Amino acid sequence: MGAPMARNLIRAGHDVTVYNRTRAKAEPLAADGARIADSVAHAVRGCEVTVTMLADDHAVEEAVFGADGMLQTLPRDAVHMSTSTISVEMSKRLATTHTAAGQGYIATPVLGRPEAAAAQKLWVIAAGPPDLVERCQPLITALGRGFTIVGRDPWQANVVKLASNFIIVSLIETLGEAFALMRKAGISVHQFLEIVNTVFGSPIFAVYGQIIADEKYEPAGFRMKLGLKDVRLALAAAEEQAVPMPLAGIIRDHFLQGIALGYGDQDWAAIARVIAANAGLEKPRA
């Protein structure tokens, strides 16, 4: 996700320095006009805004608080704009820590797969102090087709993102169960998908329905391991707010089953493989 987002910032005329733990993944951006940094600390030195797109809380912990992290070199009054899907707890910690250091922090997680990022069609969910959100708006606008400001506390954007991902994976679970029924009944899943797309007209049904119907789970747009991480974070946020989410618990267990069967690096739509196996349609791998 980070590479196409960086390209969109460059195309919008912003001066961009990039860093990736795997340097080879960052180097192609040099041809687009980006400078390549050797560390997070180097990347953020002298910047006005630093944008992070990282896999999980652990990666954020390393990038911000690590030995070569941004906390010591990010200038006072500069803003950390986090686009990552992280826990509410981590988002609150980032806000507190950056404020104590005289730095700004806003959360701007994004909705969309890598192909949406490349096409500048992400939707950005923003939350944070209004003056900081307004200051970062040119960057937010460059990343996608639109944005919604959901609150003054950054963690509120993270809750919205987790809830949105829960809805997406709930629809994937629904498709997996319905497609398993079609297959066992001897009905064409592709024909069924045409009906579903005609009735519901949902891009989620269209994209993930096609993946499941074609049984094409690689290359992954979003890995099952990351899907498990997001569902766990949604459950944690729900527990903090005393909101039961029984369906999230079922999906978490299906993800765990899929990872145990060796599907962890496949697209999270491979949850349909787990459902198919449970229905006797696919033999689990040893």
Catalytic residues: 161
Nearest one of 99, 95, 77, 79 to 87, comparing CA atoms: 95
Rounded to whole angstroms, the Cα distance separating 1 from 21 reads 14
Nearest one of 24, 72, 80 to 50, comparing CA atoms: 80
Give alpha helix (H) positions in the chain: 2-11, 23-26, 40-44, 57-65, 88-100, 114-118, 130-143, 154-184, 189-200, 203-214, 224-240, 246-260, 271-278
Four-point Cα dihedral 23, 88, 152, 243, nearest 10: 150
Taking every pair of Cα atoms in the chain, the longest distance, rounded to a whole number of angstroms, is: 64
Tokens of 40: 């997070």
Contact 133, 109 (CB under 8 A): no
Task: Find out whether the peptide bond into 219 is cis, omega within 30 degrees of 0.
Answer: yes
Rounded to whole angstroms, the Cα distance separating 246 from 55 reads 25
196 CB-near residues (< 8 Å, 6+ apart)? 175, 178, 205, 209
Nearest one of 179, 146, 154, 174 to 83, comparing CA atoms: 154
